[in-house]
Amino acid sequence: MTPERGGEASRPSPAQDWHGALRSIDAALSTRPRDARLLLQRAQCLLALGRPADACEAAAEAQACAPPEAVLFDAIGAAFSRSNDQERALTAFDRAVSLASGSAHFLFNRATVLRFLGRLDEAEADYDRVIALKPADYEAYVNRTELRTQTAQANHVGELEALIARGIPEWQGQVQIRYALAKEYEDIGDYGNSFRHLQQGASERRRHMRYDVAADVATVDWIMEAFPTGSSVSAPNVPTPGGSALPKDAPIFIVGLPRSGSTLVDRILGSHSAIHSAGELPHFALCIVDAVRRSSGARALPRRELVARSARLDFDALGLDYLARVRHAAPSDRRFTDKMPLNYLYCGLIRQALPNAKIVHVTRRPMAACYAMYKTLFADGYPFSYDLTEIGRYYIAYRRLMDHWHATLPGAMYTQSYESLVADQTGQTRGLLDFCGLEWQDACAEFHRNSSAVTTASAAQIRRPVYDSSVSQWRHYAGELEPLLELLRAAGIDTD
């Protein structure tokens, strides 16, 4: 999902010495303790330092003494939202809107947080107002489309087609409207028009990217070279299923490809009273890169050498560094989930650095997984997802690596099939909880009632009970997806 768009004061500008900046701000606050702008700057420094809980406290102090200026409350709301305190972000955005009700910018930010919180009807009303005030805000159209399943009686197809017919000068706006049309046409069953707009939008997005899928495919080969089958792996300290004496270094990593059900699995686990859902954390990859660079004298390394050196790290230190970095994102009294999908690249390192960690690999049938990625306009990352051939090549490499991890780390990972979870939610949830050493709680089966915020591309869908409509959705486009199907089959992948 696209994060809220902040004003000039909403995000810290690039800087090298955040600790020094924080010291300077604290010195200024010693003489002006109720200066809302200084407090906001303090919150932004703390965010840059990876301290979201402390940033929230600073933002709350800024909010308490802020003068009635809409732009200031908007920036405070952005600080709360980036700290993943969406409830307090909403109060700040509410105040910004009340002070400047005719601002499309403030309404957009509030709509985004309402979407994160599952208040979808209110979010749609705000997006409607944004579009009325600023018809060229194309991001608002695509965000509004994602809030619900469109129907033949209630959709925006005519409005969106009119935008295309009039012409959209910016390529980004054209891409957003094409994706919105693809989604709405799919919802109402017009699959031909859906794929036509999707293909045009994806091609335009790909045309403006610098990316070579061969580099990602080669990286998989380099990882397998660095962590060969039969290599030494720390022995797991497996707790008794259902036990409660699990150590703090027992996070649950949810890995796989995007749009394969990882948010659903995370939501189920995060509904358990013993688990905190920390979201998609970049920390493990950053720890690896920093550790390798320290070992090489801080010089820049080619990717292949970085991967090779990662197999020779001090794994205990790597695990401790990761836990230190995430302590601000997860409470100390509960275990936590880290649902960064691309952590699938690091399963070998995770196992050695955090031998008590649980790794849940979420899978989805190949064609369904590839189509789900293709039809998603990601805010960041996943550059392979805008071309069907590149999706196929990336998927084949991903499968090779996961097969390698299962051979290298036998029994260390739990495979959770999205289709199996949809078909038997209760039974599959019991197996998932058992693997994670958790006792059954009814809340896990009623995850859609969980009111906590969701900031991923599944923010709207996850508010509903499990549904199976997306399991075979790709079959509506069997003809258009035939080249992808043949590419996967040629690699020996079962596509049935």
Pick the range with the lowest mean pLDDT from 1-10, 198-207, 256-265.
Answer: 1-10
Task: Label the pairing between strands 275-277 and 335-338.
Answer: parallel
Domain final residue, candidates 88, 112, 130 = 130
Count of structural domains within the chain: 3
β-pair partners for 277 = 337
Q: What is the pLDDT of residue 465?
A: 55
C-alpha count within 13 angstroms, C-beta hemisphere, residue 273: 6
Regarding whether 164 and 125 lie in a shared domain, the answer is no
The pLDDT value recorded for residue 447 is 79
3-class secondary-structure state, position 228: coil
Q: Are 40 and 56 in contact (CB under 8 A)?
A: no
> Do residue 260 and residue 155 come from a single domain?
no
167, 197: one domain = yes
Between CA 338 and CA 356 the distance in angstroms is 14
Q: Are residues 89 and 14 in the same domain?
A: yes
Domain boundary among 184, 208, 232: 208
Same domain, 25 and 172: no
Distance in angstroms (rounded) separating the CA atoms of residues 121 and 42: 34
Q: Whole-angstrom Cα distance, residue 128 to residue 111?
A: 10
pLDDT at 160 over 80: yes
Token pair for 495: 């596509």
**pLDDT, tens digit, for every residue of 266-277?**
999 999 999 999
Dump pLDDT digits (tens) for 453-472.
666 555 555 545 555 567 78
* Half-sphere exposure of residue 425: CA atoms within 13 angstroms, side-chain side: 18
| Percent of the chain clearing pLDDT 70 (strictly above) | 89
Q: Is residue 495 part of a domain?
A: no
| CATH value at residue 288 | 3.40.50.300
The number of CA neighbours under 13 Å toward the Cβ of 7 is 19
12-21, 141-150, 286-295, 484-493: segment of lowest average pLDDT:
12-21
Q: Are residues 141 and 101 in the same domain?
A: no
Q: Which helix (H) or strand (E) holds 61?
A: helix 52-65
Q: Please check the confidence at residue 333 and state whether its pLDDT lies above 90.
A: no
Q: Which residue has the higher pLDDT, 236 or 158?
A: 158
Residues 361-407 pLDDT 10s: 999 999 999 999 999 999 888 999 999 999 999 999 999 999 999 99
Helix (H, G, I), strand (E, B) or coil at 451: coil
Q: What is the mean pLDDT of residues 279-293?
A: 93
Instruction: CATH number of the domain at 111, please.
Output: 1.25.40.10
d(CA 451, CA 484): 38
Of 83, 114, 130, which closes a domain? 130
Range of the domain at 166: 135-208
Over 90: is that where the pLDDT of 301 sits?
A: no
DSSP 114-176: HHHTT-HHHHHHHHHHHHHH-TT-HHHHHHHHTTS---SSS--HHHHHHHHHH--SSHHHHHH
Q: Are residues 76 and 176 in the same domain?
A: no
Q: Are residues 338 and 382 in the same domain?
A: yes
Secondary structure E strands in 367-419: 413-417
